[in-house]
Structure 1
Amino acid sequence: MSVFANKTFFITGASRGIGKAIALKLASEGAN
């Protein structure tokens, strides 16, 4: 289980660029 599983993150600028990449990675690791 990932350390990010079932954790909630708020990411600003998640619609493009590095924010999007971070959001997608966290989601793939099970974050909310």
Structure 2
Amino acid sequence: MIAKRLLGKRVLITAAGQGIGRASALAMADQGAQVFATDVNEATLATLAEGSAGKIGVIVKSGV
């Protein structure tokens, strides 16, 4: 069982489409955080949305 240490917290993850950003977004969502994920690559964001099983609240294509 994963502890919900981030329950009630909100996080913003940039470059969330792949690599460390993706892993961070999924891990924080699993720990109960409300995740706002951004990336410049729409395709990787789409796979993040599919793989998150609805745990990530907002996914936005954005350049920083």
Identify the structure with the greater strand proportion. 2
Q: CA RMSD in A?
A: 1.2
Identity of paired residues, percent?
Answer: 41
Higher relative contact order (CA 8 A, sep 6+): 1
What stretches of structure 1 move > 2 A for 4+ residues in a row?
none
When Rg is computed on C-alpha atoms for both structures, the one with the higher figure is 2
Mark the runs of 5 or more structure 1 residues left unpaired by the alignment.
none
Mark the runs of 5 or more structure 2 residues left unpaired by the alignment.
35-64
Residues paired across the two proteins, number: 32
